[in-house]
Structure 1
Amino acid sequence: MALEYFSSYSLLPRLIITPCLFIFLIFLLYSISLFHVTFTSASTPTTSFLKVEQDQEAVALLTWKTSLDNQTQSFLSSWFGRNSCHHWFGVTCHSSGSVSNIDLHSCGLRGTLHNLNFSLLPNLLTLNLYNNSLYGTIPINIGNISKLITYLDFGFNHFTGVISPQLGFLTSLSVLALSSNNFKGPIPPSIGNLRNLTTLYLFENELSGFIPQEIGLLRSLNDLQLSNNNLTGPIPSSIGNLRNLTTLYLYINELSGSIPQEIGLLTSLNDLELSMNNLTGPIPPSIGNLRNLTTLYLYINKLSGSIPQEIGLLTSLNDLVLAINNLIGPIPPSIGNLRNLTNLYLSKNELSGSIPQEIGLLRSLNVLQLSTNNLTGPIPPSIGNLRNLTTLYLHTNKLSGSIPQEIGLLTSLNDLELSINSLTGSIPPSIGNLRNLTTLYLHTNKLSGSIPQEIGLLTSLNDLELSINSLTGSIPPSIGNLRNLTTLYLHTNKLSGSIPQEIGLLTSLNDLELSINSLTGSIPPSIGNLRNLTTLYLHTNKLSGSIPQEIGLLTSLNDLELSINSLTGSIPPSIGNLRNLTTLYLHTNKLSGSIPQEIGLLTSLNDLELSINSLTGSIPPSIGNLRNLTTLYLHTNKLSGSIPQEIGLLTSLNDLELSINSLTGSIPPSIGNLRNLTTLYLHTNNLVLFLKRLDC
């Protein structure tokens, strides 16, 4: 029995456990089912919402696409269907499937933004439409675009209208670029709300009004470019708050007032360009705080006062351009500290005093322009240290003393201009070392001595101007080596001797001016080789002999002046080949023979002066072809015969002087056609004067 009891007792737990397990399993299944229903009811609306959002984004972009021109629509052929994340060109998406970035820069898009519903792009982070042909205004609903957007670039398009104040709502923006469009009106003060902005490009528009004080709230800015607009008023002092700024471009505007002292707080600046405005007042000494500055452009303003000594603290500077202002006083010696300087432009100011010896410490200089000032004293010999110099402009000052021999050490020079000073002494022979020189201007000084033979070593020269000095001696034959020369000015000196035959080797010459010297001998026939010559001035010398027949080969000539010499013989008929001639001066010589009939071929002539010679024969009737003539001087010759009837065809004439000849016959009635005539000299001839009675 005990065993039996035991057996009955052991079965009881099994009977109890079995229903409990069943109940538990039923409860578990119910819970799982309930969880599934709950999850399904919760997840279905979210998925549905995302799908609706994606559909809306696709519709928004497709609607915009259909508003663009046909070529653009073809370009965006990948934009179709309801999934904008499925291989749509220029579109990328979040992992959730929502549009995150649209990058269509430089795609040739043409159209407007009017049909782009920005509010249907709620998760957009970047929108790049740079460098297309989009036009029209930016829609007012731009403020409804995603508040997450960090990058917005509409630059280099054709947008018009004003910059919408709604942009101020896009407070996540780090880059805003609206440059190179046609935006007008003011910069909206709401731009000050964009506290995360690191880059602001508004350059090359037609913006006007003041730079808003609120610009100073953009403390994260690295790059601020407002150049090439019509902005007026002062630079706001709040700009000093932009301590992270590395680039500040305000050039080519109409800004006025002084440069604020607070500019010196921008200690991160690398590039400061305030040029081409109407800024006045001094350069603030605080500018010396900008120790990271590599470029400082303040040129073409109305700045006054002296260059501050503190400029010498900007030891990182590569480019310093203060030209075309009203700066006075000396060039500070501290400028010698700027050892990294490659370009120094101080020209067109009112600077005075001497060029500091310290200028020779700027061994990295490529360009040094100190021209058009009131600088005095000598050119410092230390200038010879500037071995990298390619351009040296010291012209239009009051410099004195001689050209230092050390100038010959500047073997990288392309352009040397020391003209319009009071330099004395001779041209140093060391100048022959400057084999890369293309331009040499020493004109309008008080230089003396001869032209050094070494000038012929400058075989790269295009332009050589030594005129208006007191140079003596002959023109060196070595000048014939300068085969690249297009301009040669030696006029207004005291040069003597003959014109060297080698002048004919300068076949690239356009302009040859040897006038107002004491040159003797004949005009070399080799001059006929100069087929590119447009100007030939040999007047006011002591040249003799005949005009060479070869002069007729110079068919590009506009201006031929051989007057005030002792030339003899006849005017060569070949002169009729010079069909481009506008000025022909042969007056004040000893020319004889008749005026050639071929003179009538020079139909471009404005000014013909053959006076004060010994010309004989009659005035050729072909002269009537010169319909552009305003001045005709044939006076003081030995001309005979009658005044040709054809003179009346010269209806542009202002000045007609035929006096002091042996002209006969009557004055032709056709002279009455010369209605523009202000001067008519016919005196001292043998003319018969008939007075016709005028009946009232």
Structure 2
Amino acid sequence: MALLNWKTSLNNKSQSLLSSWVGTTPCNWVGINCDHSGSVTHLNLSNYGLRGTLHNLNFQSLPHLLSLNLSHNSLSGIINSNISHLSKLFLLDLSGNQFTGRIPFEIGKLTSLHVIDLSANHMTGLIPQDLGALSSLSKLDFSSNNLTGVIPTFLGNLSNLIILYLHMNQLFGSIPQELGMLSSLTNLALQSNNLIGVIPASLGNLSKLTNLYLFENQLSGSIPQELGMLSSLTDLELSTNKLTGVIPASLGKLSKLATLYLFENQLSGSIPQELGMLSSLIDLDLSTNKLIGVIPASLGNLSKLTTLYLFENQLSGSIPQELGMLSSLTDLKLSTNNLTGVIPAFLGNLSNLTTLYLHTNQLSGFIPQELGMLSSLIDLELTTNNLTGVIPASLGNLSKLTTLYLFENQLSGSIPQELGMLSSLTDLELSINNLMGVIPAFLGNLSNLNTLYLHTNPLSGSIPQELGMLTSLIYLKLTTNNLTGVIPASLGNLSKLTTLYLFENQLSGSIPQELGMLSSLIDLELAINNLTGFIPASFGNLSKLTTLYLSKNQLSGSIPQELGMLSSLTDLDLSINNLTGFIPASFGNLSKLTSIYLHTNRLSGSFPQEFGIV
């Protein structure tokens, strides 16, 4: 029997899964259904973990089969051309396997087909023209394969088609206007291909369409205003293309729209105020375009909005107070624009906000203390603006905050001790400001901190030894301050540290041997200080070190030969110190070294011949 022959061609585990397939009565077998006469009508082995091919499955022996579902297994090889014998087949689902080769043109003979799903395989070649005969087809899914060629115009003749999925292939050419004839279509997904040309205005005829996915292609031209006629549309995603022109005001008519993604295009002009009429909208992403003008106050009407992304445009003006009405908002990203004015205090009312990105604008004034009311906030980025005043102590209330970026502003005053309460914080960057006072010891309480950047401020005092408690720290940058005192030996506890930048300060004393315990260290820069004493021989343990800058100090003694063990070192600068003795011959082992500076010292002897190896 055909089914038993096929079973024996599968691997042993698959055969054991089909242990009920014995005897001559298939109607009692797992995955099999029969009609009243005992003929097999349905074969459903979806998600059975089968491994093998269809080569030994004789479809000619299954003339009454209505549905064939072998989806989500590990079947491979080609799809047999003799599948054409399944003349009564209603459903064909071979999705989620590892089939290769071309789609058999013989499938076009299965005129009873309503559903064909070959998605998530490794099929290649063109979409066969013969499929144009499948007039009863309601679902066609060839997504997630390696199909090439153009989208055939004959698809426009499949008048019963409800779902058309061709996404995630290598299709090219333009979108045929004939698709606008598919009056029953509800879902159209052509994303993640190499499609070019314009979006056909004829798509505006698809009155039942709920989802239109054209993103991640190379589509150009303007967004047709006819898309505003798609009154059933809930998801419109045209992102990551080369679309130009303005955002059509007609999109404001799409009253059921929940998702509007137009990001990563070349759209220009202003944001139409009509978008404020999209009362069902949940996600709005217009980022990474060339939009100008102000943020429309009408967006404050979008009461269901959870995501508002307008970043990387050329928007200007102030942040409208109407945005404070968006009580459902969780993500607000207005960064990398030309926004001016102050950060509005009303943003503190957005109690569900988890992400607030206002960086890289021209915002001025103080950071409002009301931001401390955002109890759900995880990421706060206000960098690269013209903010002044102090860091509000109220930010210490943000118990869920993981990222606090305030760098590149004109903030002044001291670092508030309340920041030591941010126990979830992983990244703290306050660099390039006018912060004064000492580095607070309470920062040592931030046990989850990965990044601490305080550089380029006029901070003074010593480096607190409590920083040695930050055992999760990867990046520590305290450069270009007025720090004094010694380098704490406790920094040697930071076993995950890859970057330690302390240059351009007034640090004194000797370099602690404990820094040689930082086995993960890649970059160590202590230049331009008042450090004295010897270069620690323990540095020879820093096997991952690529950069070592100790220049412009008052280091003395000889250069330890252990530095020759730093096999990953590419840049070494020991210049402008008081080093004596010979250049170690061990430096000849530094095969990756690209630059070495030893000038302005008191080194003696001849240049080691071993340097010929470097």
**TM score, norm. by length of structure 2:** 0.94
Closer/same/farther in 2, CA of residues 285 and 78 from structure 1, 3 Å limit: closer
1:478 aligns with 2:394: yes
Q: Larger radius of gyration, structure 1 or 2?
A: 1
Does 1:611 find its partner at 2:550? no
Separation of aligned partners in 2, 1:141 and 1:64: 5
Q: 1:233 to 1:445 in 2, by over 3 A?
A: same
203, 212, 217: which one aligns with 1:287: 203
Runs of 4 or more above 4 Å deviation = 59-85, 87-95, 690-694
State the distance in 2 between where 1:527 and 1:633 align. 26
- Residues 349 and 541 (structure 1 numbering): CA distance in 2 closer, same or farther, change over 3 Å? same
Check the 8 A contact 1:561/1:583 in 2, yes or no: yes
Equivalences for residues 447-462 of structure 1 within 5 A? 447-462=363-378
Q: Which amino acid aligns with 1:245?
A: L
Tell me how far 1:147 sits from its aligned partner. 3.5
Following TM superposition, by how much is the alpha carbon of 1:146 offset from its aligned partner in structure 2, in angstroms?
4.3
Q: Unaligned 5+ residue runs, structure 1?
A: 1-58, 101-123
Instruction: Using the TM superposition, give the Cα deviation of residue 476 of structure 1 relative to its aligned residue in structure 2, in angstroms.
Output: 0.5
Percent of matched pairs sharing the same residue? 60
Note if contact 2:229-2:253 (Cα within 8 Å) is conserved in structure 1: yes
Counterpart mapping for 1:100-249 below 5 A: 100=39, 124-139=40-55, 142-249=58-165
Distance 1:280 1:236 in 2: 14
Contact 2:10 2:50 (C-alpha < 8 Å) held by counterparts? no
Alignment match, 2:304: 388
Which has more helix, going by share of residues? 1
SS of match in other structure, 2:164: strand
Q: Distance in 1 between matches of 2:609 and 2:273?
A: 83
Match of 2:470 in 1: 554
Shift of 1:60: 6.1
Amino acid in the other structure paired with 1:379: I
Deviations 1:189-236 (A, max 9, x none): 232222222111121222222112222221111111111111111111
In 1: Cα distance, 2:23 partner to 2:246 partner: 73
Equivalence for 1:359: 275
> How far has the Cα of 1:416 moved from its partner?
1.0
Q: Is the CA contact (8 Å cut-off) linking 1:214 and 1:238 kept in structure 2? A: no
Tell me the SS of whatever aligns to 2:476: strand
Equivalence for 1:99: 38
**Could you list the runs of 5+ residues in structure 2 that have no partner in the other structure?**
none
TM-score by length of 1: 0.83
Residues 72 and 562 of structure 1, relative CA distance in 2, 3 Å threshold: closer
Once the two structures are overlaid, the 10-residue window that deviates more, 138-147 or 297-306, is 138-147
Provide the C-alpha distance between the structure 1 equivalents of 2:20 and 2:516, rounded to a whole number of angstroms: 73
**Equivalent of 1:308, from 191, 207, 224?**
224
Shift in CA distance, 151/94, structure 1 to aligned 2, threshold 3 Å: closer
AA of the residue aligned to 2:522: N
Whether the 8 Å contact between 2:10 and 2:52 is mirrored in structure 1 is no
CA distance 1:384–1:650, shift in 2 (3 Å)? same
Q: Give the superposition deviation at 1:84.
A: 5.7
1:523 to 439, 443, 466: 439
Q: Contact conserved, 2:195 with 2:218, CA < 8 A, in 1?
A: yes
* Aligned equivalents of 1:562, 1:537: Cα separation in 2: 6
Q: Is the 8 A contact 1:579 1:603 kept in 2?
A: yes
Cα separation, 1, equivalents of 2:600 and 2:62: 95
* Paired position in structure 1 for 2:542: 626
Call closer, same or farther: CA 1:313–1:669 in 2, change over 3 Å.
same
Tell me which of 418, 425, 432 is aligned to 1:502. 418
Amino acid corresponding to residue 227 of structure 2 in structure 1: I
* Counterpart in the other structure of 1:660: 576
Which structure ranks higher in relative contact order (CA pairs < 8 Å, sequence separation ≥ 6)? 2
258 and 591 in structure 1: CA distance in 2 versus 1, 3 angstrom threshold: same
User: Would you say 1:468 and 2:407 are equivalent positions?
Assistant: no
Change (3 A) 1:75 1:395: closer
Residue 485 of structure 1: CA displacement? Answer: 1.2
Query: Root-mean-square deviation (CA), in Å?
Result: 2.3
Deviation track 1:6-41 (CA, whole Å, cap 9, x = no partner) reads xxxxxxxxxxxxxxxxxxxxxxxxxxxxxxxxxxxx
Q: 2: CA distance between counterparts of 1:569 and 1:253?
A: 62
Q: Does 1:258 align with 2:174?
A: yes
Return the alpha-carbon distance in structure 1 between the equivalents of residues 129 and 187 of structure 2: 21
What pairs up with 1:3-18 in 2 under 5 angstroms? none
Query: Does structure 1 retain, via aligned residues, the 8 Å contact 2:103–2:127?
Result: yes
Report the Cα offset of residue 143 of structure 1.
4.5
Specify the alignment match of 1:678 in structure 2.
Answer: 594
Name which of 502, 508, 529 aligns with 1:586.
502
Is the alpha carbon distance of 1:164 and 1:524 closer, same or farther for their aligned partners in structure 2, counting shifts above 3 Å?
A: same
1:301 and 1:602 mapped to 2: Cα distance? 47
Does the alignment pair 1:323 with 2:236? no
Q: Report which of the two has the higher share of strand.
A: 2
Equivalent residues, number: 610
1:63–1:579: structure 2 CA closer, same or farther, 3 Å change rule? closer
